[in-house]
Structure 1
Amino acid sequence: MKRILLSGGGSGGHIYPALSIARAVRRKYPGVEIAYIGTEKGLESRIVPKEGNIHFYTVEIQGFKRSISWQNVNTIRKFLRAVDRAKEVMREFRPDVVVGTGGYVSGPSVYAAYRLGIPTLIHEQNVVLGMTTKFLSRFVDVVAISLEESQKYLGRANRIVFTGNPRATEVARANSAAGRKSLGIRDPHKPIVLFIGGSRGARAINEAVLEIIPRMSEMPKVHFVYVTGETHYEEIRSRITDVPPNLDVVPFIYNLPDVLAATWLVVGRAGASTLAELTALGLPSILIPSPFVTNNHQEANARWLEEQGASKMLLESECTGERLWNEMKRLLENPEEHDAMSEAARRLGRPQAAEVLVAELEKIAKKRVDS
């Protein structure tokens, strides 16, 4: 492959898998040219340029309202204009293959590639399909899924491939010793419990953790790491009057893959990237899905992982400090149950996901050359 175009945006769950694919393609094809179509104001406009050596183009697009609304007429107009703009980009860049990883912006980008006869692949990160994946699945050459459960929603797809989430590949390459060192933990066997609600934090998780901090000193052989999220850090830190010696409170972790590789138990949200990371590393978890996401897909993700025996799900309405402490304590005091969850998570993991996706891109790109 000489040129690949990626598109995905709106949230890190769509952007980071795209960048993982870009890195995997570069590892195999060091001279490849990579372009990315996003939006001017979306998160991708800040994240993608920092990656370096990626041509970044923008289109204007907005999402459909799920209820009947006149705004959807304007959305259709913007979609059609975005398709035309994406075609201009592709005629200029001439990609061998186009990849969409979700978010509204990938809709017109991948559809434009389909109309131009360019090989296409879309990647779905969650159990329940996003609206963009539903729309594009009938047009693209391949739908790549992160979780096998998604297959039942893809009756109109031309071809479905269970690849896993390419984020798993990067986490699988992480260094647990480096993670422990960054936390100042010298004992290589000390269990680490990580509380994390994403880069912005999660209020429900924060409130539950605040309740149990006074009890952490009851477990001096366990090290707790509490990631508040940058938005909530100052407020949360001001509410903790006494920090136990076995607790770190931080706003953000920049070397998260290494810290995850060193972790014994994760308490957090149930986004697609989180599931990829947990299963790639065989990490047991207590998942508290966000109820504020499209299609309630985090609950579907968490419920599926729990059904496989790899996690325990707590809904926000159930997530009191007492309930969370009891669930954690049970796992800490029953290593057999912890190990069984770890093995179940590992069975679900796809640490070679990025390489599998590159192989699929090679296949569909070759079909175009052969034809």
Structure 2
Amino acid sequence: MNITLAAGGTGGHMVPAHALAAELKARGHGVMLITDDRGAKIPGLFEDVPTHILPAGRLGGGPIGMLKAVRSVLQGRRRAKALYRDFTPDAVVGFGGYPAFPALLAASSMKIPTILHEQNAVLGRVNRWVAGDAAAIATAYAEVDRLKATYRGKVELVGNPVRESVARLGTMPFPEFDDTAPLKILVTGGSQGATVLGKVVPDALGKLPPKLRHRLQVVQQCRADDIETVRARYAALNIPAELLTYIEDMPERLGETHLVIARAGASTIAELTAAGRPAILVPLPTATDDHQTANAREMAKAGGARMIMQDEFTPETLSAQIAVIAGDAQALSNAAERALSVGRPHATSDLADLVERVAGGASPLLVGRVETAQPSLAMGAPA
């Protein structure tokens, strides 16, 4: 079969789409990607998949901005329809983000079945707009806000696809850690980095008790504008740290990490729980519908993560939390197990199964392993 994937241009949308593409290709299907300029430039993704960049305006910016956005969406829809006449997809899978919108509109107008994948614990804006026409909605969390109860019959809980190299970490032992071993910490703000992590984390690590501080080995992702300032701060504190603007070999880095300090993006949490890595999560306060706070709640409730809101994210608070988690080897190991307990390492294959059922014309939720996401208290809210 031929499957078109449509994804917005951030890592949160692109990484699960990439994982699904690899699985579908391994099963012998043809795959095409529709995205925007940002998505096409993310390193290491979709290198062997035909990629098409379509216009997709971001709706907003007053009447003039809305007019331009609608014009761009309609142009993208026309181009997507032309692509579909050549590629003839059996299904179109949308991963959210504005670049997915025209591709999904084109599919619905041509009676091509669509599947939506929602990475976050809040149904995203584009997915809300097109959910009514979707044949199936695949979710990453058991509770999803802003998902209407009337859609329950076409919802399937699959999880958030991660790369096979990440999922494999969950079957391997947690990195050895005792009273003398190095404490390896990974700091990441998602595909775009996070300035606040660069401001707070070095000073927090500098406040740790000497028995932990002297054993630190840090890998930290920084924004390009921040990296030299952060490097100087670590040097002043005499803490060994490797700084990068983008962590391309994330599976390898994650595999040797004891503790992660990160934003609460959907792909980040999916990888942490699939690999079984404890974390301190700092949700992005400006995330649409506060979806990062919602993303973090399952992992935090299980005991695999601690959540610190950004207005409380200070060196003192962070240092205290690190000391609690990593100050005892057994506590760190227990947190790792609890993180793993909420992971869904089979998300990629489960999503691929769902796509095959829809593309093959079967009732999407009647065949195969089914686990249905439940509406949260906020599901009845108007979309």
The TM-score, its normalising length taken from structure 1, stands at 0.86
Task: Choose which of 323, 327, 348 in structure 1 pairs with 2:321.
Answer: 327
Matched pairs, number:
356
**Structure 2 residue 93 is matched with structure 1 residue 99:** yes
Q: In the alignment, what sits opposite 1:346?
A: 340
User: Which whole-Å deviations, capped at 9, do the CAs of 1:136-191 have from their partners, x for residues lacking one?
Assistant: 111111111111111772424351111111126441135999x98xxxx9x99644
Q: What amino acid does structure 1 have at the position aligned with 2:34?
A: I
**Structure 2 residue 200 is matched with structure 1 residue 208:** yes
Q: In the alignment, what sits opposite 2:158?
A: 163
101-110 or 250-259: which moved more?
250-259
Q: What amino acid does structure 1 have at the position aligned with 2:39?
A: E
Tell me, what secondary structure is at the counterpart of 1:242?
A: helix
- Contact 2:123–2:145 at 8 Å: present in 1 too? no
User: Which whole-Å deviations, capped at 9, do the CAs of 1:47-98 have from their partners, x for residues lacking one?
Assistant: 3896333222222111222x86442233223222322221111011111221
Distance 1:50 1:104 in 2: 19
Distance 2:230 2:331 in 1: 32
Q: In the alignment, what sits opposite 2:217?
A: 224
User: Which whole-Å deviations, capped at 9, do the CAs of 1:221-257 have from their partners, x for residues lacking one?
Assistant: 7433141424121222133343536x32322433111
Q: In the alignment, what sits opposite 2:69?
A: 75
Q: What amino acid does structure 1 have at the position aligned with 2:232?
A: S
1:198 Cα deviation after fit: 2.8
- Contact 2:19–2:163 at 8 Å: present in 1 too? no
**Highest RCO, 1 vs 2 (Cα 8 Å, sep ≥ 6):** 2
1:196 Cα deviation after fit: 2.0
Compared with structure 1, are the counterparts of its residues 310 and 38 closer, same or farther at alpha carbon in structure 2 (3 Å cutoff)?
A: same
- Contact 1:49–1:56 at 8 Å: present in 2 too? no
Any residues of structure 2 matched to 1:355-370 within 5 Å, and which?
355-367=349-361
The TM-score, its normalising length taken from structure 2, stands at 0.84
1:313 Cα deviation after fit: 0.7
Distance 2:248 2:44 in 1: 18
Q: In the alignment, what sits opposite 1:290?
A: 284
Q: What amino acid does structure 1 have at the position aligned with 2:358?
A: I
Compared with structure 1, are the counterparts of its residues 68 and 288 closer, same or farther at alpha carbon in structure 2 (3 Å cutoff)?
A: same
Q: In the alignment, what sits opposite 2:241?
A: 248
**Structure 2 residue 2 is matched with structure 1 residue 10:** no
Compared with structure 1, are the counterparts of its residues 272 and 202 closer, same or farther at alpha carbon in structure 2 (3 Å cutoff)?
A: same
Distance 1:363 1:89 in 2: 23
Distance 2:290 2:63 in 1: 22
Any residues of structure 2 matched to 1:297-316 within 5 Å, and which?
297-316=291-310
1:328 Cα deviation after fit: 0.5
Task: Choose which of 23, 33, 37 in structure 1 pairs with 2:34.
Answer: 37
Distance 2:285 2:160 in 1: 22
Distance 2:274 2:233 in 1: 35
- Contact 1:193–1:222 at 8 Å: present in 2 too? no
Q: In the alignment, what sits opposite 2:371?
A: none
- Contact 2:170–2:274 at 8 Å: present in 1 too? no
1:209 Cα deviation after fit: 1.5
1:110 Cα deviation after fit: 1.4
Distance 2:213 2:65 in 1: 56
- Contact 1:168–1:353 at 8 Å: present in 2 too? no
332-341 or 195-204: which moved more?
332-341
Q: What amino acid does structure 2 have at the position aligned with 1:24?
A: E
Q: What amino acid does structure 2 have at the position aligned with 1:4?
A: I
Distance 1:361 1:192 in 2: 39
- Contact 1:48–1:54 at 8 Å: present in 2 too? no
- Contact 1:199–1:230 at 8 Å: present in 2 too? no
301-310 or 204-213: which moved more?
301-310
Task: Choose which of 111, 122, 146 in structure 2 pairs with 1:117.
Answer: 111
Unaligned runs of 5+ in 1: none
Distance 1:227 1:342 in 2: 20
Distance 1:197 1:126 in 2: 16
Q: What amino acid does structure 2 have at the position aligned with 1:167?
A: V
Q: In the alignment, what sits opposite 1:24?
A: 23
- Contact 2:303–2:335 at 8 Å: present in 1 too? yes
**Structure 2 residue 228 is matched with structure 1 residue 264:** no
- Contact 2:20–2:352 at 8 Å: present in 1 too? yes
Compared with structure 1, are the counterparts of its residues 44 and 228 closer, same or farther at alpha carbon in structure 2 (3 Å cutoff)?
A: closer
1:355 Cα deviation after fit: 0.6
Q: In the alignment, what sits opposite 1:85?
A: 79
Tell me, what secondary structure is at the counterpart of 1:51?
A: coil
Q: In the alignment, what sits opposite 2:53?
A: 58
Compared with structure 1, are the counterparts of its residues 129 and 240 closer, same or farther at alpha carbon in structure 2 (3 Å cutoff)?
A: same
Compared with structure 1, are the counterparts of its residues 188 and 136 closer, same or farther at alpha carbon in structure 2 (3 Å cutoff)?
A: farther
1:127 Cα deviation after fit: 0.4
1:121 Cα deviation after fit: 0.9
1:288 Cα deviation after fit: 0.7
Give aligned-pair identity as a percent: 30
349-358 or 51-60: which moved more?
51-60
**Structure 2 residue 194 is matched with structure 1 residue 195:** no
Unaligned runs of 5+ in 2: 364-383
Tell me, what secondary structure is at the counterpart of 2:238?
A: coil
